[in-house]
Amino acid sequence: DAKTTQPTSMDCAEGRAANLPCNHSTISGNEYVYWYRQIHSQGPQYIIHGLKNNETNEMASLIITEDRKSSTLILPHATLRDTAVYYCIGTSGGYQKVTFGIGTKLQVIP
């Protein structure tokens, strides 16, 4: 799995877009970038994943740089319920041991 680097914490005003960066400079060609989040005391929740194209779903957008060394998760209109720890991981799929770092603690402020 690729090693990823994320800021420890971020704040975002409610209603604004939250942009969470992730560096994954060692990511290999067949590794996907996955994002999960963990709301306090709950099990992690899948958000989105991508390989090299930008992706969007009902929860978020994922922007991956052309060189694939970094990506940004975008929550377009953050709400208080988006307050959570967000994890970025690089993995080539289900048969790989996945390592979760400490993630980014996003605090959405009213």
Partner 1 sequence: NAGVMQNPRHLVRRRGQEARLRCSPMKGHSHVYWYRQLPEEGLKFMVYLQKENIIDESGMPKERFSAEFPKEGPSILRIQQVVRGDSAAYFCASLKGQGLQDTQYFGPGTRLTVL
- Residues lying near partner 1 in the complex (CB under 8 A) are found at 30, 32, 34, 36, 41-46, 49, 87, 92-95, 97-103
- Distance between CA atoms of 27 and 51, rounded to whole angstroms? 10
| Closest approach of partner 1 to the CB of residue 7, in Å | 14
* Spacing of C-alpha 55 from chain mean position: 12
Whichever of 38 and 72 has its CB closer to partner 1, that residue is 38
Token reading at 68: 């694939």
Whichever of 61 and 92 has its CB closer to partner 1, that residue is 92
Question: Is 93 exposed, middle or buried, given 0-12, 13-18 or 19+ CB atoms closer than 10 A?
Answer: exposed
Whichever of 13 and 45 has its CB closer to partner 1, that residue is 45
| Closest approach of partner 1 to the CB of residue 81, in Å | 15
